[in-house]
Amino acid sequence: MRLAVIGIGLMGGSLALTLKRKGFVSNVIGVDNNTQHQAEALALGLVDEIMTLEEAVKSSDIIAIATPVNIAEKLLPTILDLVDQQVVFDVGSTKESIVQIANSHSKNGRFVPTHPMWGTEFSGPSAAQQDAFLEKATVICNADKVDADALQKVEALYKALGMHIVNMDAIKHDIHVAYVSHISHITSFALANTVLEKEKESDAIFELASGGFESTVRLAKSNAAMWVPIFMQNKENVLDVLNEHISQLRKFKACLEKENFEYLSELIENANGIKRILK
C-alpha cells in the first residue's frame, strides 16, 4: 500500500515512520510546501519521495492530511476532486467544520474524518516518533457517510498502530476535546506567560523548577501555527470551558483572600476526584 502524507510534521512524520515500520505501507510519498521540511523528511527517512499534491494523490492508495486544521479544510475539496478509488483521512483536532466541508462534496464517501488522541508539544519532521500512537484512542466521525471500503482501510491502519477506535459525532467530539485537550493548552500557555512576565530571575526558575512545574507548562512549547486554527475552529466550546476554568480559579483566589481554608480544602478534595478518571 502506498501512503501519501500531506504535511510532514509531528503527526504526519510519526504516521509515516510507524506505518512503514509495522509493514502496513510499503512506500511513503511526502507533500509539504516547506522545502526545509521536505529535505528533513527525506534525510530522516520519514518519506521515500517528495511530490506535488496532485502527483501524490494520483500515485497513492491512502492519503493522510496532517497539516494544521485551517490548511486541511482548504486542501480537502482539491484532494477529493483528484481522488478516484483512493482513501483520504485527516488527523485534525477539530471535526465539526471539516465534516461539513466533506459532506458538501460529491466524493465525501472517500473521506474519513479522524482524530488520533496522541501528540507531543514538539513540531516539524524532527519531532516524528516511530513508536507513536500505541494504546491510545482514535476518534472516527461521520462513519455512516463513509464508503465501507474506505472506513475499513482507515480502521485497519489505526489498528496497525495499536490504537482503539471510538466512533463519535463530530459536534460531540469538538465539545469533549475542548475539555480534555484544548483547555490544557490554554492554561499551559497562560501559565508560561505568567511566569515569564512576573518571574524575572530566570535562573531561579531553572534551578528550582521541579517535575510538577515542567508537567504543567510543557504544553506551552506547542506551535502557534497548529493551535491558533484549532482555537478558531473550536472557539465556542473553548470559551465555555475557559470561562468555567477562570471561575474555578477565582474560587481559589477568594479562599485565599478570605482565609477560608476549610473551603480551600474542599476544593482540593473535589479536584482529587480526577483520580477516579486518571489512574
Segment contacting its own copies by CB under 8 A, of 11-19, 35-43, 148-156, 200-208:
200-208
Segment contacting its own copies by CB under 8 A, of 12-20, 21-29, 32-40, 266-274:
266-274
Could you give the CA distance from residue 270 to residue 279 in angstroms, rounded to a whole number? 16
Shortest Å distance, C-beta 109 to its own copies: 26
Q: In what order do the strands lie in the sheet with 2-6?
A: 49-50, 27-31, 2-6, 62-65, 87-90, 111-116, 137-140, 164-167
Task: Establish if 246 lies at the interface with its own copies (CB under 8 A).
Answer: yes
Shortest Å distance, C-beta 200 to its own copies: 10
Shortest Å distance, C-beta 244 to its own copies: 5
Task: Establish if 245 lies at the interface with its own copies (CB under 8 A).
Answer: yes
Task: Establish if 9 lies at the interface with its own copies (CB under 8 A).
Answer: no
Segment contacting its own copies by CB under 8 A, of 95-103, 140-148, 154-162, 178-186:
178-186
Task: Establish if 126 lies at the interface with its own copies (CB under 8 A).
Answer: no
Within positions 15 to 34, which residues make up the interface with its own copies, using CB under 8 A?
none
Task: Establish if 179 lies at the interface with its own copies (CB under 8 A).
Answer: yes
Phi, psi of 91, rounded to the nearest 5 degrees: -130, 25
Within positions 96 to 125, which residues make up the interface with its own copies, using CB under 8 A?
117-121
Within positions 62 to 91, which residues make up the interface with its own copies, using CB under 8 A?
none
Within positions 204 to 243, which residues make up the interface with its own copies, using CB under 8 A?
204-224, 227-228, 231-232, 235, 238-243
What cell numbers appear for 197 in the block? Answer: 512576565
Per residue, the 3-state secondary structure of 4-55, as one string, reads EEECCCHHHHHHHHHHHHCCCCCEEEEECCCHHHHHHHHHCCCCCEECCHHH
Would you say 59 or 216 has its CB closer to its own copies?
A: 216
Nearest Cα to 90, choosing from 63, 109, 57? 63
Tell me if 108 sits within 8 A of 141, measured CB to CB.
no
151 burial (CB, 10 Å; 0-12 / 13-18 / 19+) is buried
